Amino acid sequence: MKYNWRLNIKEIEELYKKGFSCTEVGKMIGASRQAVWGLMKSHDIKTRPQIRMGVANNFFRGSAPETGNAHNILEYAIRKGIVKQKERCENCKEIKKFKDGRTGVHAHHPDYNKPLEVNWLCQKCHHSWHKNNKAKSYEI
């Protein structure tokens, strides 16, 4: 029996309010992300702002072919506590923070075939590294 998700807008709204994305809600009820989003809009359900940074990021970050899935693997490992994010740049040794509290130290992959092996660099040092070097591309 197919799930009749159109009759359960309150259930969809509650799942979304608990933090699930439209994509995740859609997978749970057998509908597309677009269908969930459209249904919520048609019922005047307030959606989260489309913030694309920090812990409020509700969007999938796709990967370029040369990076493979390294960014997503590392992000998962950080969330699970497998890899600990550093607060100090490994190059200039400074602690970088943005005004909104986010860290200014980025994970840098010198080799995308090793997604958990990263250098922690501030934005300035990270850009400087890429000006003079090229990371090893992901190999299938």
How confident is the model at residue 58, as a pLDDT? 47
Q: Is residue 114 domain-resident? A: yes
Q: Which domain holds residue 34?
A: 5-42
- pLDDT confidence bin for 22, thresholds 50/70/90: confident
Q: What is the average per-residue pLDDT within 118-138? A: 92
- Are 34 and 90 members of one domain? no
Phi, psi of 106 (to 5 degrees): -105, 150
Q: Is residue 138 domain-resident? A: no
Q: What is the average per-residue pLDDT within 98-121? A: 90
- More confident call, 44 vs 2: 44
Q: Is residue 50 domain-resident? A: no
- Are 74 and 35 members of one domain? no
The burial class, CB within 10 Å (0-12 / 13-18 / 19+), for 24 is middle
E-state strands within the chain: 105-108, 119-122
For residue range 37-79, what is the model confidence (pLDDT) as tens digits?
898 999 999 888 765 554 455 455 555 677 778 888 888 888 8
Total structural domains within the chain:
2
Q: Is residue 55 domain-resident? A: no
- Are 83 and 128 members of one domain? yes
